[in-house]
Amino acid sequence: EGTNGSGDKPTLSVVTEAGFMPFTYLDKGELTGFDIDLLEAVMGEAGYDYQIENVGWDAMLLSVEKGEADLAIAGITVNEERKETYDFSSAYFESTHKVVFREGEGITSGEDIKDLKVGVQSGTTGAEAVEKILGKNHENISKYDSNTLALMSLQSGDVDAVVTDNVVADEYVENNPEANVEMITDPDTFESEFYGIMFPKDSEVKEDINSALQTVIENGTYSEIYQEWFGA
Ligand code: ARG
């Protein structure tokens, strides 16, 4: 997929979880999204060819942890806990959480989900945020393997609300008018976080790729990609 390999650099193996529109998702079977375009630009800048595979969230994390994949990009939040297991690039996107809920549920703050059934993608910062409100492994928390499944469970009525990353919530609400859902954000409850590219601990390509990311941010390429995906 990358086209700017210099020849002497290895072809890198990239993993993602493509259920996170608009960052990484499938459009008619094609992997696409802001993260996918950013990756293409960064790998071109760094001079690596790469192959990218959509493997699912848990498999993605595991293959990076084991060093089977060279890196992952999937709207992955950088936090202290993950830094114990993985390395990260510098931040490339700021995020927070939103509550998506069926119209009329009357949710106005993060705390309002306390007595509701809440769906989350398991193993995400959204799941952690919900556990802070309801309690760890609370019976009213339904954990799904993907964010897509969590949002589907909201439409089917299995849960009353879903907590997910703000931009993903925005995209979902805008694209699914028939779902009759609304959303709120709550800066008092949901902290700001940052996405980074994830690497195995002993990565030999991290420095290269991180400096290419810096270049792409500084030379205007990042802004172009941002504009394409999020511009008015
Ligand atoms: N930013 C959140 C996290 O890192 C959610 C990421 C979910 N990404 C995905 N491709 N499903 O925990």
Whether the full predicted model's pTM is greater than 0.90, yes or no, is yes
Among 53, 124, 130, 146, say which to mutate for ligand 1: greatest number of ligand atoms within 8 Å of CB.
Answer: 124
Architecture of domain 97-185: 3-Layer(aba) Sandwich (3.40)
8 confidence band (pLDDT: 50, 70, 90): confident
- Is pLDDT of 35 > 90? yes
Dist. CA 184 → ligand 1 center (Å)? 19
Q: What is the mean pLDDT of the chain?
A: 95
> Once rounded to an integer, what is the mean pLDDT over residues 4-27?
88
Nearest CA to ligand 1 atom 11: 20
- The segment(s) of the chain belonging to CATH 3.40.190.10 are 12-93+194-230, 97-185
Ordered alpha helix ranges (H), 90-165: 125-134, 147-156
**pLDDT (average), residues 57-83:** 98
pLDDT single digits (tens) 117-154? 999 999 999 999 999 999 999 999 999 999 999 999 99
pLDDT at 5: 47
Please tell me the predicted confidence (pLDDT) of residue 125. Answer: 98
Q: Tell me, what's the pLDDT at 1?
A: 44
What average pLDDT does range 191-197 have in this prediction?
Answer: 98
At residue 2, the pLDDT reads: 43
Residue from 15, 76, 88, 125 whose mutation best tests the ligand 1 pocket (most atoms within 8 A of CB): 76
Given CATH 3.40.190.10, say whether it is the number of domain 12-93+194-230.
Answer: yes
pLDDT value at 115 more than 70: yes
Distance 221 CA to ligand 1 centre (A): 24
pLDDT of residue 9: 84
ipTM of model over 0.90: yes
pLDDT of 66 strictly over 90: yes
- Looking at ligand 1, which atom is closest to the CA of residue 128? 12
Pocket test for ligand 1, best of 14, 165, 171, 192 (most atoms within 8 A of CB): 165
